[in-house]
Amino acid sequence: MTDKSYKYDYLVFIGRFQPFHAGHQYVLEQALEQARSVIVLIGSSNVHRSAENPWNYSEREQMIQNAAKGKMSLYQYLKVQPLDDFAYNDTAWVITVQETVDQMVMIPSSGKEPKIGLIGYDKDSTSYYLKMFPTWDVVEIDTQYGTINATQIRDQYFQAAPVINEFLPDTVRSYLKEFALTPEFKWVLNETNYIRNYKKSWEGSPFPPVFVTVDPIVVQSGNILLVTRKDAPYAGSLALPGGFLNSNERLEDAVVRELKEETRIADNKGEIPPAMLKSFITKREVFDDPNRSKRGRSITHAFLFELPKRDNLYEVRGDDDAEHAAWYSLADLKTEYFMEDHAFIIQKMLGIKF
Protein backbone atom coordinates (compact mmCIF):
# COMPACT_ATOMS: atom_id res chain seq x y z
CA MET A 1 0.00 0.00 0.00
CA THR A 2 1.44 3.39 -0.97
CA ASP A 3 1.27 6.55 1.11
CA LYS A 4 -1.31 8.02 -1.32
CA SER A 5 -3.80 5.33 -0.30
CA TYR A 6 -3.81 6.42 3.35
CA LYS A 7 -6.73 8.61 4.37
CA TYR A 8 -5.06 9.69 7.64
CA ASP A 9 -1.55 10.37 8.81
CA TYR A 10 -2.49 9.30 12.36
CA LEU A 11 -5.44 7.57 13.94
CA VAL A 12 -5.78 7.72 17.74
CA PHE A 13 -7.26 4.74 19.62
CA ILE A 14 -8.15 5.33 23.30
CA GLY A 15 -9.09 2.56 25.70
CA ARG A 16 -8.45 0.95 29.06
CA PHE A 17 -7.74 -2.47 27.50
CA GLN A 18 -8.52 -4.38 30.71
CA PRO A 19 -7.52 -6.69 29.09
CA PHE A 20 -6.57 -6.20 25.44
CA HIS A 21 -8.91 -8.51 23.48
CA ALA A 22 -9.70 -9.53 19.90
CA GLY A 23 -12.12 -6.64 19.43
CA HIS A 24 -9.35 -4.16 20.25
CA GLN A 25 -6.97 -5.91 17.87
CA TYR A 26 -9.58 -5.76 15.11
CA VAL A 27 -9.91 -1.98 15.56
CA LEU A 28 -6.12 -1.60 15.31
CA GLU A 29 -6.02 -3.65 12.13
CA GLN A 30 -8.79 -1.52 10.64
CA ALA A 31 -6.93 1.64 11.69
CA LEU A 32 -3.81 0.60 9.81
CA GLU A 33 -5.87 0.16 6.67
CA GLN A 34 -6.62 3.89 6.82
CA ALA A 35 -3.64 5.54 8.54
CA ARG A 36 0.10 5.65 8.22
CA SER A 37 0.49 5.32 11.99
CA VAL A 38 -1.72 4.45 14.96
CA ILE A 39 -1.37 6.07 18.39
CA VAL A 40 -2.77 3.91 21.20
CA LEU A 41 -3.47 5.76 24.46
CA ILE A 42 -3.91 3.45 27.44
CA GLY A 43 -6.39 5.10 29.80
CA SER A 44 -6.55 4.92 33.61
CA SER A 45 -2.76 4.68 33.68
CA ASN A 46 -2.50 6.61 36.94
CA VAL A 47 -4.94 4.69 39.16
CA HIS A 48 -4.46 2.01 41.80
CA ARG A 49 -4.81 -1.64 40.79
CA SER A 50 -8.41 -2.75 41.42
CA ALA A 51 -11.10 -5.21 40.40
CA GLU A 52 -12.07 -2.89 37.55
CA ASN A 53 -8.47 -2.01 36.63
CA PRO A 54 -6.51 -5.17 37.46
CA TRP A 55 -3.53 -4.49 35.17
CA ASN A 56 -1.26 -1.46 35.39
CA TYR A 57 0.01 0.52 32.43
CA SER A 58 3.20 -1.47 31.81
CA GLU A 59 1.30 -4.77 31.96
CA ARG A 60 -1.28 -3.59 29.43
CA GLU A 61 1.40 -2.10 27.18
CA GLN A 62 3.11 -5.49 27.20
CA MET A 63 -0.16 -7.18 26.19
CA ILE A 64 -0.61 -4.80 23.25
CA GLN A 65 3.00 -4.86 22.08
CA ASN A 66 3.26 -8.65 22.25
CA ALA A 67 0.00 -9.08 20.34
CA ALA A 68 1.20 -6.61 17.71
CA LYS A 69 4.54 -8.37 17.29
CA GLY A 70 2.64 -11.37 16.00
CA LYS A 71 1.59 -9.14 13.10
CA MET A 72 4.65 -7.10 12.18
CA SER A 73 2.64 -4.78 9.93
CA LEU A 74 0.71 -3.77 13.05
CA TYR A 75 3.75 -3.51 15.32
CA GLN A 76 5.83 -1.44 12.91
CA TYR A 77 3.42 1.50 12.84
CA LEU A 78 2.16 1.38 16.40
CA LYS A 79 2.87 3.99 19.09
CA VAL A 80 1.70 3.30 22.66
CA GLN A 81 1.51 5.90 25.44
CA PRO A 82 -0.10 6.18 28.91
CA LEU A 83 -3.14 8.40 29.46
CA ASP A 84 -4.03 9.60 32.95
CA ASP A 85 -7.52 9.84 34.39
CA PHE A 86 -8.83 13.21 35.55
CA ALA A 87 -12.00 12.52 37.51
CA TYR A 88 -14.15 15.64 37.91
CA ASN A 89 -12.15 17.48 35.22
CA ASP A 90 -12.97 16.46 31.64
CA THR A 91 -11.20 19.54 30.28
CA ALA A 92 -7.87 18.47 31.79
CA TRP A 93 -8.33 15.00 30.27
CA VAL A 94 -9.03 16.42 26.79
CA ILE A 95 -5.99 18.70 27.01
CA THR A 96 -3.79 15.77 28.05
CA VAL A 97 -4.98 13.72 25.05
CA GLN A 98 -4.26 16.61 22.70
CA GLU A 99 -0.83 17.32 24.20
CA THR A 100 0.17 13.64 24.11
CA VAL A 101 -0.83 13.31 20.47
CA ASP A 102 0.90 16.60 19.53
CA GLN A 103 4.16 15.31 21.02
CA MET A 104 4.00 12.16 18.88
CA VAL A 105 2.92 13.68 15.59
CA MET A 106 5.50 14.56 12.94
CA ILE A 107 4.87 17.18 10.26
CA PRO A 108 4.84 15.49 6.79
CA SER A 109 7.59 16.38 4.32
CA SER A 110 4.96 18.26 2.33
CA GLY A 111 4.73 20.76 5.18
CA LYS A 112 0.96 20.32 5.43
CA GLU A 113 -0.73 19.81 8.77
CA PRO A 114 -1.03 16.07 9.43
CA LYS A 115 -4.52 14.65 9.19
CA ILE A 116 -5.59 13.09 12.49
CA GLY A 117 -8.61 10.97 13.33
CA LEU A 118 -10.03 9.23 16.39
CA ILE A 119 -10.98 5.60 15.91
CA GLY A 120 -13.18 3.32 18.00
CA TYR A 121 -16.60 1.74 18.23
CA ASP A 122 -19.49 3.59 19.77
CA LYS A 123 -20.68 0.64 21.86
CA ASP A 124 -22.05 2.28 25.04
CA SER A 125 -21.83 5.26 27.40
CA THR A 126 -18.11 4.66 27.96
CA SER A 127 -17.46 5.77 24.38
CA TYR A 128 -18.68 9.34 24.94
CA TYR A 129 -15.11 10.61 24.42
CA LEU A 130 -15.50 10.07 20.67
CA LYS A 131 -17.48 13.32 20.56
CA MET A 132 -14.97 15.38 22.59
CA PHE A 133 -12.48 16.20 19.80
CA PRO A 134 -14.35 18.18 17.13
CA THR A 135 -11.18 19.04 15.16
CA TRP A 136 -10.47 15.34 14.55
CA ASP A 137 -12.48 13.05 12.31
CA VAL A 138 -14.28 10.21 14.09
CA VAL A 139 -13.87 6.78 12.53
CA GLU A 140 -16.44 4.37 13.98
CA ILE A 141 -15.83 0.67 13.48
CA ASP A 142 -18.57 -1.96 13.38
CA THR A 143 -16.51 -4.63 15.05
CA GLN A 144 -17.21 -8.29 14.35
CA TYR A 145 -16.70 -8.84 18.09
CA GLY A 146 -19.64 -6.68 19.14
CA THR A 147 -20.90 -9.05 21.84
CA ILE A 148 -17.60 -9.32 23.70
CA ASN A 149 -16.65 -6.92 26.47
CA ALA A 150 -13.79 -6.69 28.92
CA THR A 151 -16.06 -6.88 31.98
CA GLN A 152 -17.20 -10.38 31.00
CA ILE A 153 -13.61 -11.42 30.39
CA ARG A 154 -12.57 -10.19 33.86
CA ASP A 155 -15.56 -11.87 35.53
CA GLN A 156 -14.63 -15.21 33.96
CA TYR A 157 -10.95 -14.83 34.76
CA PHE A 158 -10.97 -13.64 38.36
CA GLN A 159 -12.31 -16.70 40.12
CA ALA A 160 -10.76 -19.61 41.99
CA ALA A 161 -10.50 -21.57 38.72
CA PRO A 162 -9.73 -18.87 36.13
CA VAL A 163 -11.39 -19.15 32.73
CA ILE A 164 -9.43 -17.46 29.95
CA ASN A 165 -11.79 -16.16 27.30
CA GLU A 166 -11.38 -17.44 23.74
CA PHE A 167 -11.69 -13.94 22.25
CA LEU A 168 -8.15 -12.94 23.22
CA PRO A 169 -4.98 -12.84 21.13
CA ASP A 170 -2.83 -15.91 21.76
CA THR A 171 -0.10 -13.81 23.38
CA VAL A 172 -2.62 -12.29 25.82
CA ARG A 173 -3.99 -15.74 26.68
CA SER A 174 -0.45 -16.87 27.50
CA TYR A 175 0.14 -13.75 29.57
CA LEU A 176 -3.02 -14.31 31.61
CA LYS A 177 -2.04 -17.92 32.33
CA GLU A 178 1.20 -16.62 33.87
CA PHE A 179 -0.50 -13.74 35.68
CA ALA A 180 -2.87 -16.18 37.42
CA LEU A 181 0.15 -17.49 39.38
CA THR A 182 1.18 -14.10 40.77
CA PRO A 183 0.45 -12.35 44.11
CA GLU A 184 -1.19 -9.57 42.09
CA PHE A 185 -3.80 -12.01 40.76
CA LYS A 186 -4.54 -13.18 44.29
CA TRP A 187 -4.96 -9.59 45.47
CA VAL A 188 -7.37 -8.71 42.64
CA LEU A 189 -9.30 -11.95 43.19
CA ASN A 190 -9.79 -11.02 46.85
CA GLU A 191 -11.00 -7.55 45.84
CA THR A 192 -13.34 -9.01 43.21
CA ASN A 193 -14.85 -11.50 45.65
CA TYR A 194 -15.37 -8.74 48.21
CA ILE A 195 -17.33 -6.66 45.71
CA ARG A 196 -19.38 -9.66 44.56
CA ASN A 197 -20.31 -10.54 48.15
CA TYR A 198 -21.01 -6.91 49.02
CA LYS A 199 -23.47 -6.54 46.15
CA LYS A 200 -25.05 -9.89 46.96
CA SER A 201 -25.81 -8.67 50.48
CA TRP A 202 -28.30 -6.12 49.16
CA GLU A 203 -29.46 -7.76 45.93
CA GLY A 204 -32.84 -8.55 47.51
CA SER A 205 -33.59 -4.87 48.04
CA PRO A 206 -36.51 -3.56 45.93
CA PHE A 207 -34.26 -0.70 44.78
CA PRO A 208 -30.47 -0.49 44.50
CA PRO A 209 -29.25 1.36 47.60
CA VAL A 210 -27.55 4.74 47.46
CA PHE A 211 -24.74 4.98 49.99
CA VAL A 212 -23.86 8.27 51.67
CA THR A 213 -20.32 8.70 52.93
CA VAL A 214 -18.16 11.47 54.38
CA ASP A 215 -14.47 12.13 53.76
CA PRO A 216 -12.21 14.56 55.64
CA ILE A 217 -9.33 16.23 53.80
CA VAL A 218 -7.10 17.25 56.71
CA VAL A 219 -4.07 19.42 55.91
CA GLN A 220 -1.42 21.02 58.08
CA SER A 221 1.70 22.87 56.99
CA GLY A 222 1.91 21.29 53.52
CA ASN A 223 1.02 17.80 54.77
CA ILE A 224 -2.16 15.74 54.49
CA LEU A 225 -3.52 13.15 56.90
CA LEU A 226 -4.16 9.77 55.26
CA VAL A 227 -4.80 6.18 56.32
CA THR A 228 -3.65 2.88 54.90
CA ARG A 229 -6.60 0.54 54.43
CA LYS A 230 -6.55 -2.62 56.48
CA ASP A 231 -8.95 -4.74 54.43
CA ALA A 232 -10.75 -4.88 51.09
CA PRO A 233 -11.75 -2.92 49.20
CA TYR A 234 -8.36 -1.56 48.17
CA ALA A 235 -6.46 -3.32 50.94
CA GLY A 236 -3.09 -1.65 51.46
CA SER A 237 -3.92 1.52 49.53
CA LEU A 238 -3.95 5.09 50.83
CA ALA A 239 -7.34 6.61 51.57
CA LEU A 240 -9.07 9.53 53.19
CA PRO A 241 -10.09 8.67 56.79
CA GLY A 242 -13.81 8.66 56.08
CA GLY A 243 -16.75 6.30 56.19
CA PHE A 244 -20.51 5.86 56.08
CA LEU A 245 -23.07 8.26 57.44
CA ASN A 246 -25.08 6.85 60.34
CA SER A 247 -28.86 7.15 60.10
CA ASN A 248 -29.06 9.34 63.21
CA GLU A 249 -26.36 11.96 62.55
CA ARG A 250 -25.65 15.07 60.54
CA LEU A 251 -22.93 15.10 57.87
CA GLU A 252 -20.62 17.38 59.84
CA ASP A 253 -20.92 15.20 62.94
CA ALA A 254 -20.25 12.11 60.84
CA VAL A 255 -17.07 13.43 59.24
CA VAL A 256 -15.66 14.45 62.64
CA ARG A 257 -16.59 11.07 64.11
CA GLU A 258 -14.88 9.18 61.27
CA LEU A 259 -11.79 11.37 61.51
CA LYS A 260 -11.46 10.69 65.24
CA GLU A 261 -12.23 6.95 64.94
CA GLU A 262 -9.70 6.27 62.22
CA THR A 263 -6.82 8.58 63.24
CA ARG A 264 -7.24 9.41 66.96
CA ILE A 265 -5.92 12.86 66.06
CA ALA A 266 -4.46 14.57 69.14
CA ASP A 267 -2.25 17.38 70.42
CA ASN A 268 -0.18 17.47 73.61
CA LYS A 269 -3.38 17.76 75.66
CA GLY A 270 -4.94 14.60 74.23
CA GLU A 271 -7.46 13.79 71.50
CA ILE A 272 -8.86 16.92 69.90
CA PRO A 273 -12.55 17.42 70.85
CA PRO A 274 -15.22 17.46 68.13
CA ALA A 275 -16.07 21.15 68.58
CA MET A 276 -12.47 22.18 67.95
CA LEU A 277 -12.19 19.93 64.88
CA LYS A 278 -15.36 21.48 63.46
CA SER A 279 -13.80 24.94 63.82
CA PHE A 280 -11.08 23.89 61.35
CA ILE A 281 -13.58 23.13 58.53
CA THR A 282 -13.17 25.69 55.72
CA LYS A 283 -14.85 24.02 52.73
CA ARG A 284 -17.23 21.24 51.78
CA GLU A 285 -18.20 19.70 48.44
CA VAL A 286 -20.22 16.78 47.10
CA PHE A 287 -18.64 14.13 44.83
CA ASP A 288 -21.28 12.07 43.05
CA ASP A 289 -19.75 10.39 40.01
CA PRO A 290 -22.09 7.38 39.51
CA ASN A 291 -19.06 5.15 38.84
CA ARG A 292 -16.85 6.31 41.69
CA SER A 293 -17.30 3.08 43.67
CA LYS A 294 -17.79 -0.46 42.40
CA ARG A 295 -19.55 -1.40 45.66
CA GLY A 296 -22.63 0.49 44.46
CA ARG A 297 -23.95 4.01 43.99
CA SER A 298 -21.98 6.06 46.51
CA ILE A 299 -22.16 9.81 47.11
CA THR A 300 -19.53 11.33 49.36
CA HIS A 301 -19.47 14.68 51.14
CA ALA A 302 -15.90 15.94 51.43
CA PHE A 303 -14.88 18.41 54.15
CA LEU A 304 -11.62 20.37 54.12
CA PHE A 305 -10.01 20.75 57.56
CA GLU A 306 -7.20 23.32 57.61
CA LEU A 307 -5.31 22.86 60.86
CA PRO A 308 -3.24 25.69 62.38
CA LYS A 309 0.47 25.92 61.65
CA ARG A 310 2.60 24.75 64.56
CA ASP A 311 6.08 23.42 65.31
CA ASN A 312 4.90 19.79 65.32
CA LEU A 313 2.14 18.09 63.36
CA TYR A 314 -0.76 16.73 65.38
CA GLU A 315 -0.26 13.17 66.62
CA VAL A 316 -2.18 10.40 64.83
CA ARG A 317 -2.47 6.61 64.92
CA GLY A 318 -4.48 4.15 62.86
CA ASP A 319 -7.64 2.65 64.36
CA ASP A 320 -10.99 1.16 63.33
CA ASP A 321 -10.80 0.41 59.54
CA ALA A 322 -7.32 1.93 59.23
CA GLU A 323 -4.22 -0.22 59.50
CA HIS A 324 -2.07 2.89 59.75
CA ALA A 325 -2.55 6.67 59.90
CA ALA A 326 0.18 9.17 59.03
CA TRP A 327 0.99 12.58 57.62
CA TYR A 328 2.20 12.71 54.02
CA SER A 329 3.87 15.59 52.22
CA LEU A 330 1.59 16.83 49.44
CA ALA A 331 4.66 17.00 47.21
CA ASP A 332 5.23 13.24 47.48
CA LEU A 333 1.76 11.97 46.51
CA LYS A 334 0.88 9.97 43.39
CA THR A 335 -2.64 9.20 42.24
CA GLU A 336 -1.91 5.49 41.85
CA TYR A 337 -1.42 5.17 45.64
CA PHE A 338 -5.12 5.82 46.38
CA MET A 339 -8.38 3.91 46.55
CA GLU A 340 -11.20 4.82 44.16
CA ASP A 341 -11.34 8.57 43.43
CA HIS A 342 -9.74 9.83 46.67
CA ALA A 343 -6.72 11.34 44.90
CA PHE A 344 -8.99 13.29 42.56
CA ILE A 345 -11.10 14.53 45.48
CA ILE A 346 -7.95 15.85 47.14
CA GLN A 347 -6.84 17.56 43.93
CA LYS A 348 -10.23 19.22 43.47
CA MET A 349 -10.57 20.34 47.07
CA LEU A 350 -7.04 21.73 47.30
CA GLY A 351 -6.75 23.02 43.70
CA ILE A 352 -3.55 21.09 43.07
CA LYS A 353 -2.26 18.36 40.77
CA PHE A 354 0.04 15.45 41.59
- At 287, which CATH number? 3.90.79.10
Q: Within its chain, how far is the Cα of 176 from the centroid?
A: 21
**Together in a domain, 251 and 116:** no
Nearest to 240 by CA among 313, 90, 312, 348: 348
- pLDDT tens for residues 24-83? 999 998 998 899 999 999 999 999 999 999 999 999 999 999 998 877 666 678 999 999
Reported residue count of the chain is 354
**Together in a domain, 235 and 339:** yes
Res. 353: pLDDT tops 60: yes
Torsion of CA 257, 258, 264, 269, to 10 degrees: -30
Res. 1: pLDDT tops 50: no
Whole-structure pTM over 0.85, yes or no? yes
**Together in a domain, 142 and 227:** no
**Together in a domain, 21 and 167:** yes
Judge whether 295 lies within some domain.
yes
HSE toward the beta carbon, residue 169, CA cutoff 13 A: 25
Q: Is the dihedral of CA 165, 168, 169, 174 positive or negative?
A: negative
% pLDDT > 90, the chain: 79
Q: Helix, strand or coil for residue 334?
A: coil
Judge whether 214 lies within some domain.
yes
* Number of separate domains in the chain: 2
Res. 263: pLDDT tops 70: yes
Structural domain span for residue 232: 210-350
Res. 126: pLDDT tops 70: no
- pLDDT tens for residues 205-254? 899 999 999 999 999 999 999 999 989 999 999 999 999 999 999 999 99
**Together in a domain, 145 and 257:** no
Provide the pairing of β-strand 223-229 with 322-329: antiparallel
